[in-house]
Amino acid sequence: MSGHPAPDPQELLAVAEEVAAAAGELVLTGRPDRVEVAATKSSPTDVVTAMDHASERLVAERLAVLRPDDGFLGEEGGHRPGTSGLTWVVDPIDGTVNYLYGLRSWSVSVAVVSDEVHGAGRPDPATWTVLAGAVRDPSVDETWTAVRGGGARVRRGGSPARPLRCPEGPELGATLLATGFGYDPQRRAEQAAVLARLMPRVRDLRRIGTASLDLCAVAAGRVDAYYELGLNPWDFAAGWLVAREAGAVVTDFTGGPAGTHGLLAAGPRLHPVLQRALAG
C-alpha cells in the first residue's frame, strides 16, 4: 500500500456493511415477479440475472466514491486493479439460483483483502489477507460481519450485533453437514460419490446453496460443518473471515489455505475428524 495510510479495519468494515446493505436492499426490493436469466457462464445452469449485474454495478459505484484507490474483483465484472494495495472481493448475489427461484437463501457478500504477493494484481486466496467482510442476508434481515483479529458478529434487524463463537463440534455421527455442488455434470457426479460415503456417517445434510451463508452458519453453530469443492473467491472471501473470527477452522481438504480446490469449515474438534473422513 505504497503512499497510502494503513487502513483502519473498522472503517473498512463500515464500508463493507454499507455497500452490502445498499445492494441487498436493491436486490430484495427490486426482484420482479419473474426473474429472467440474463446469461449463463460455465454451464447452462450457471446463470446470471440482470439483478446480479445491477447489484455489482451499485457496489462498484459506491466503492469508487468511498474507496477510489482500491481494486475491485467481482463475480460479474472481473478484476480492476487499484493503487492502494487493497482489493474489494464482491459476490453481488451469492445464491443466484435460489434468487432465480424465489428461495430465500441468498446474500450480498463483500470483503476487502490485501495481497503482498500479487500487489495490485488479481488477489489470490492462497496469498491474500482478508481484512474485513460483511455478508448481508436481506431475506431475514441479518448481517454477518468480521474484522481480522476483531471477532465476528451477527446483527438481526435493529438489535445490537452479537458476537459469534463457533462450537468445538460434535462427534462425526452427530454432525449436521452442509455442502454444495458445482455446475459441471461430471464434477457433480464426483461430489455425489463423496457425499454417498459421508451420509451414513453423519447426522444429516443441508444444502443451502449459498457458500457465504453456509460459512456464517458454521460460525453460528447452525450447521456443524461445511465443505465444498470448486467455489469462486467471491463466494467465500467474507464468509471465510466470519467463520475464522468466530473460531472455526477453515482450510482446504489437506489443511492448507481454502480455495477453489477445496474448502472445509468446522469447529476445532470436528475439523480434523471430517478432514480424515473426506480423505476416505
Interface ranges with ligand LIP (CB under 6 A): 75, 91, 94-96, 180-182, 209-211, 228, 235
Tell me, what DSSP letter sits at residue 45?
T
Which position has the grid cell 454432525? 175
Cα–Cα distance measured from residue 39 to residue 70, given in angstroms and rounded to the nearest whole number: 28
Question: How many C-beta neighbours within 10 Å does residue 110 have?
Answer: 34
Give me the residue whose beta carbon is nearest to ligand LIP. Answer: 180
Helices 233-245, 211-220: inter-axial angle, 10-degree rounding? 10
Look at residues 176, 169, 168, 167 and name the one whose alpha carbon lies nearest to residue 202.
Answer: 176
Output the smallest distance, CB 215 to ligand LIP, in A: 9
Cα–Cα distance measured from residue 246 to residue 118, given in angstroms and rounded to the nearest whole number: 27
Cα–Cα distance measured from residue 62 to residue 68, given in angstroms and rounded to the nearest whole number: 9
Give the residue with the Cβ less far from ligand LIP, 85 or 95. Answer: 95
Output the smallest distance, CB 1 to ligand LIP, in A: 29
Output the smallest distance, CB 209 to ligand LIP, in A: 6
Give the residue with the Cβ less far from ligand LIP, 87 or 98. Answer: 98
Give the residue with the Cβ less far from ligand LIP, 7 or 72. Answer: 72
Give the residue with the Cβ less far from ligand LIP, 1 or 176. Answer: 176
Output the smallest distance, CB 50 to ligand LIP, in A: 15
Output the smallest distance, CB 107 to ligand LIP, in A: 8
